[in-house]
Structure 1
Amino acid sequence: MSADTLNLAAEGGGGLFTPGGPGFEAPSVGIFFPEAWSWGDYGAGSPYLGGITKYAVLLLVATALTLLFLWWTTRKQTKVPGRSQSIGEIFFLFIRTQISRPMMGVKGDKYLPLLISLFLFIFAMNIMGIIPFLQLPVPSNLSYPVGLALIVYITFIVVGIRAHGGVGKYLKSAVVPSGAPWWILPLLVPIEVISNFMIRPATHAIRVFATMFAGHLLLATFAAGGWYMFNPSAGPVFGTISVLFSGASLLAFILFTAFELVIMFLQAFVFTLLAALYIGEAQEAH
């Protein structure tokens, strides 16, 4: 929001029904590009030493939350599990029965540490968008889901090469459909190359990015709109109407926040599910 809008809000309301007041200024994509926190002129000549972004801080927070959960659920391993161990076992079984086993079978059990870490880390990064005073999902910056998709990309290629006994055999399995007649291969092989090695990692990253980006922008719009409409000083009639409008926007904000939490969980689930699918496919013949 502009400085004029913020000043008006500080005086007791938004801009609705205020003669000559500022119009509503919806949040823009600028909210996804926070300025780096700098420490003076130190390192001003270098882009790597000039400050630290909010994304980097939230990434550290998400990493700490992930490690804390793993430590809390595994610190005391006993035959009769306590509360923390029980929660950890429930989560372990959820990943194994809903993701690993359906996508990779028993062979996928050795990849459970990777899948569990991916799910927890992505979910922790996602919920940064609804935690008060943080309120910025880390995957809304494309570089972070691209980094995770790249890890999965490298993993399933390495797994495929090992499973098939060489680069050539793996590539043949990945891009040459079994049983396809030779005369159609010039058409199918390029399609398989583009699909498996270009579109697959791109959509893997963009899916979570686009969802977090759009969801956060929607929540920011409801929050800004609700505050803009809250103007009880506009008089008994218009003031009441503005409060009602603002209350409706607040209710929508709360409902969409709950909905966004579900989406955050589902995006972590889908990202992990696709990672298991890609690794599982790399282990098998085409």
Structure 2
Amino acid sequence: MTTMVLADGAEFTAPGVKDFFLPKIIEPYVDKPMILLVLSIVIISVFFLVATRNLKIVPGKLQFAAEQVYDFGRNGIAREQIGAKDFKPFVPLIVAIFTFVLVNNLFGLIPIVQFPTMSHIGFPLAVSLFVVYPVYHFVGFKRHGFVGYLKHQTIPPGAPWFVLPLLIPIEFFQKFVLNPITLAIRVFAAMFAGHLLLLVFTLAGEFLLLNGGITVIVGPISIAFAIALTFLEALIMVLQAYIFALLSASYIGMALAEEH
């Protein structure tokens, strides 16, 4: 925790990890991120239900938006990563993952809400470990068989026999341990760092404007940085949702593929 003391004695304590642990709304378990998580599911469900309740050949704005989201998940992610032969059963999953992560990320930019749910490591880790991880291993075992899938995942085609004692443990650790963890850490780290930067520049700008004395001229600069970072953060939020869904589809595609 960093504290800045100005000449007039005013103190500014920079935000840190503690600011991501919000007070419980309903003791002892329910807090703001948990409510936002449920709210995101409601928002996504209502959006698609309302957009598709009266489908037309010439779509309205809401139907068009829903179709674009679905088409992006279907053709831009699932089809590209899983392959034209196998992708169709996984389209609902990929679209759901993309929209779920996207909405929870974008919560960080909505006034009053202003908290990206995925900045809590438990949420992306839960999606990775309890949704993506079992799905892609299940379909891999189902297609290749138990022994065949283990060989498929740990022995790259054409690898010399003498490097297998070293290569097999590394491949096993990457495919069965590291992949789901890194999948979650990517979005968590981006949301955590981005939200923390916004907090620093916003709170510092407010503090300098109200208590800065001669340094009050720095306040508007800090606020300007916060505004610029908001636009950058919006782009990163969308990119991270895309990357999460893309890698999820990629893992499924690799599990189903005949070769690496």
1:30 deviation in Å?
0.5
Match of 2:10 among 17, 21, 25: 21
| SS, match of residue 55 in structure 2 | coil
Match of 1:163 among 143, 158, 165: 143
TM-score (norm 1): 0.84
Distance 1:232 1:279, change over 3 A: closer
Residues 122-271 of structure 1 correspond to what in structure 2 (within 5 A)?
A: 122-150=101-129, 151-164=131-144, 166-231=145-210, 234=213, 238=214, 242=216, 244-271=217-244
Distance 1:251 1:34, change over 3 A: same
1:259 deviation in Å?
0.7
Q: Which residue matches 1:66?
A: 44
Contact 1:161 1:167 in 2 (8 A): yes
Residues 20-39 of structure 1 correspond to what in structure 2 (within 5 A)?
A: 20-22=9-11, 24-38=12-26
Distance 1:245 1:285, change over 3 A: same
Moved over 6 A (4+): none
| Residues 146-155 or 78-87, more deviating | 78-87
Distance 1:212 1:206, change over 3 A: same
| SS, match of residue 184 in structure 2 | helix
- Between the two proteins, the alignment pairs up a number of residues equal to 257
Q: Which residue matches 1:92?
A: 70
| SS, match of residue 30 in structure 2 | coil
Amino acid paired to 1:167: F
Distance 1:51 1:95, change over 3 A: closer
Aligned-residue sequence identity (percent) comes to 38
1:35 deviation in Å?
2.1
Amino acid paired to 1:261: A
Matched, 1:108 2:87: yes
1:233 deviation in Å?
9.0
| SS, match of residue 37 in structure 1 | strand
Contact 1:16 1:231 in 2 (8 A): no
Superposition RMSD in Å: 2.2
Structure 1 Cα separation of the partners of residues 161 and 182 of structure 2: 30
1:232 deviation in Å?
7.6
Contact 1:16 1:230 in 2 (8 A): no
Using CA pairs under 8 Å that are at least 6 residues apart, name the structure with larger relative contact order, 1 or 2. 1
1:16 deviation in Å?
5.3
TM-score (norm 2): 0.92
Contact 2:6 2:212 in 1 (8 A): no
